Each structure stands twice: as structure tokens, then as C-alpha cells.
């Protein structure tokens, strides 16, 4: 696994991580109270955060696509029926 590769929540890599590594990842992700959580709770918290981030990124992509489509419709030449 590389540094840039995100860890998927359904990935066995997440559950295979040591507790100190999970705490480090959780801390980097800004999960509050990571130092006090047990391994299962850390895995779930990281997975939940990653899922929320994926959902937010998907919504942002869809909003940009919709805005672009609306802009293209607005800029498209209108048909004139002035025969």
C-alpha cells in the first residue's frame, strides 16, 4: 500500500493494522478521542469517516456536473422559429 492510496473501509488492510498504526491514522484524520478508542472502534470510526468523505466528494462532483450542464444549456444558441 502506498501513502497516496486510500484505505477502503471494507479493506482487510484496515483490520490488519496494529492498534498504534490505527491510532496514528485516526489522529491524522482528525478523529476525536482516537487515543482512547479500542481497535474495533477505531476501525469503525475510520471507515465511517472515509464513507462520509466519499459521499461528500460524490455530491460535490454531481453538483459541479449539474452546474456545468446548466451553464451549457444557458450558453447554447436558442432556436429561432421566425420563419
Asked whether residue 32 is domain-assigned, the answer is yes
Domain count, the chain: 1
Domain carrying residue 20: 12-73
Asked whether residue 67 is domain-assigned, the answer is yes
* Residue found under cell 460535490: 60
b/e map 14-35, b = 16+ CB within 10 Å: beebeeeebbebbeeeebeebe
Asked whether residue 61 is domain-assigned, the answer is yes
Asked whether residue 4 is domain-assigned, the answer is no
Asked whether residue 45 is domain-assigned, the answer is yes
Per-residue pLDDT reduced to its tens digit, 14-68: 889 999 999 999 999 999 999 999 999 999 999 999 889 888 999 999 999 999 8
Asked whether residue 83 is domain-assigned, the answer is no
| pTM attached to this predicted model | 0.63
Asked whether residue 37 is domain-assigned, the answer is yes
Amino acid at each position: 500500500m502506498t501513502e497516496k492510496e486510500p484505505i477502503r473501509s471494507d479493506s482487510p488492510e484496515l483490520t490488519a493494522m496494529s492498534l498504534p498504526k490505527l491510532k496514528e491514522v485516526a489522529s491524522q484524520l482528525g478523529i476525536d478521542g482516537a487515543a482512547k478508542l479500542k481497535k474495533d472502534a477505531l476501525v469503525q470510526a475510520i471507515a465511517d469517516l472515509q464513507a462520509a468523505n466519499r459521499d461528500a466528494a460524490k455530491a460535490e462532483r454531481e453538483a459541479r456536473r449539474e452546474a456545468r450542464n446548466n451553464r451549457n444549456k444557458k450558453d447554447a444558441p436558442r432556436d429561432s422559429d421566425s420563419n
